[in-house]
Amino acid sequence: MLAPVGASLRCAAGHSFDIARQGYVSLLTGRGTNHRSDTADMVAARNRVFEAGLYAPIVSAVSAACVGATMILDAGGGPGQYLAAALDAAEDTALGVGLDLSRYCARSAARRHPRGFSVVADLWQGIPIQDGVADAVLSIFAPRNASEVARVLAPGGRWIIVTPEPGHLAEVVESMHMLSVGEGKGERLAHELAVDFTDATASRVTESIDVAESELVDVAAMGPAAFHRTRDQLAASAAALAAGGPVSATLDVTISVAQRR
């Protein structure tokens, strides 16, 4: 178990992890990872998208699912907007941990909420949280490690999962060279939930939004498209798509809430 000692977290075995001056702690080991993490430019683009309110209906739905929670883990939490909203909706004494592979996400998340703590870690190398201490785990457009989520959730705890539907931003995906939603997502989720979770409920969030030219660039640049295209290339695509003004696009996601057995 890690405990704060000065500007570090330390355990009884003598391991020590420094708390960065930006307020987060990195628990990555020397083993490295094969997974890509968000860059500073991707985080900046995502922050602008949230500041513009484009994803507000999804944020509201996630936070509503966290009412009454006392300990929230955002697994793959990005810059921290969802965790901050969840903490505002939860108990006044609720605490939160945002976990992401990107140190740039961690820097942003560390500043997001006074009751939130930000950690850099790899979901696939184990979630650095004790067994059964969380009563809500968020997986929002993020990779899912079902066995680890089950381990850290208390019995009856909630796993809140947001997955995109094929219609999500469909009006701009091809033009902006974004990844489309693959087939079989629902079946994979059901398989992940089958062992340790029950009473899963699903609700759909669909809403039309108007996306300005600069926002089109950020919507693409905050995701995997940024690994394959430069911002100038994305800007050229956005200019062509929004030549007649803001583009109407659709938010279309499913929010699943499953209980730990």
pLDDT band at residue 55 under the 50/70/90 scheme: very high
Q: In the predicted model, what is the mean pLDDT of residues 197-204?
A: 93
Beta bridge pairs of residue 203: 255
- Is pLDDT above 70 for 43? yes
CA 58/CA 14 separation, integer angstroms: 42
Read off φ and ψ for residue 72, nearest 5 degrees.
Answer: -120, 130
The two structure tokens encoding residue 188: 């994979």
Cβ atoms of residues 179 and 223 within 8 Å? yes
Q: CA quadruple 51, 55, 56, 59: dihedral positive or negative?
A: negative
Query: What DSSP letter does each residue of 22-69 carry, written as one string?
Result: TSEEE---TT--SS----HHHHHHHHHHHHTTTTHHHHHHHHHTTTT-
Q: Tokens 């968000």 correspond to what residue?
A: 38
CA 21/CA 4 separation, integer angstroms: 14
- Is pLDDT above 90 for 30? no
Tell which residue, 98, 112, 107, 84, has the closest CA to residue 22: 107
What average pLDDT does the chain have? 93
Domains contained in the chain, CATH given: 24-165+181-199+251-260 (3.40.50.150)
Element housing 88 (H / E): helix 81-89
Residue 33, pLDDT score = 66
Read off φ and ψ for residue 130, nearest 5 degrees.
Answer: -65, 160
Cβ atoms of residues 160 and 65 within 8 Å? yes
Cβ atoms of residues 70 and 90 within 8 Å? yes
Q: 34 vs 28, 31, 191, CA distance in Å?
A: 13, 10, 24
Express each pLDDT in 77-115 by its tens digit: 999 999 999 999 998 999 999 999 999 999 999 999 999
Q: 258 vs 96, 97, 169, CA distance in Å?
A: 19, 20, 26
Cβ atoms of residues 253 and 205 within 8 Å? yes
Number of Cβ within a 10 Å radius of residue 200: 15
Number of Cβ within a 10 Å radius of residue 63: 20
Express each pLDDT in 116-142 by its tens digit: 999 999 999 999 999 999 999 999 999
